[in-house]
Structure 1
């Protein structure tokens, strides 16, 4: 899987300002999930699994509407925002 890692985009925020952005680690975390390194993926980017769940719900809802889908999506979006911001702040401290 090292070939996949050769095509990852660098973080422009980190290159310009020397500070990681809120998305830093997402690509590497997704790569780790694909490789089966689930624990490492979580430590790399804690929101990876809630983001995957959100993506699954949105795709499923696109093709087949289900009851309370808007509430579920809203809750998952809020949960992801909380996890991402918390992770970002913890990296700054």
Structure 2
């Protein structure tokens, strides 16, 4: 019951983007909170349109958690690859929003 209530009021507790408010344009992190809200509601396509890097962040976070519990042989290569892809998607999305 609490989870359902949390999901219903999730958007009421989102933090505003101060760089958007002060400078007038979105920062590289704008859209992450809304994208997570869409994922929780099961709207996967909308989550991608709001913040495409969310689908690179999820495997990165899951892998980092798994790597802290288990010894993974090529963990550093996988982590570097996931981090680079996440940064590329974040910056690519940011520059596309500027255009």
TM-score (norm 1): 0.97
Please name the residue that 2:14 is paired with: 8
Which one has the largest radius of gyration? 2
Q: Runs of 4 or more off by more than 3 Å in structure 1?
A: none
Stretches of structure 2 lacking an aligned partner (at least 5 in a row):
1-6
Q: Distance in 1 between matches of 2:14 and 2:68?
A: 28
Deviation string, structure 1 residues 1-46 (Cα, Å, up to 9, x no partner): 3400000000010011111000000000001000000000000000
The counterpart of 1:63, out of the listed 65, 69, 82, is 69
Please name the residue that 1:17 is paired with: 23
Stretches of structure 1 lacking an aligned partner (at least 5 in a row):
none
State the Cα distance separating 1:68 from its structure 2 match. 0.5
TM-score (norm 2): 0.91
Over aligned residues, Cα RMSD in angstroms? 0.7
State the Cα distance separating 1:65 from its structure 2 match. 1.7
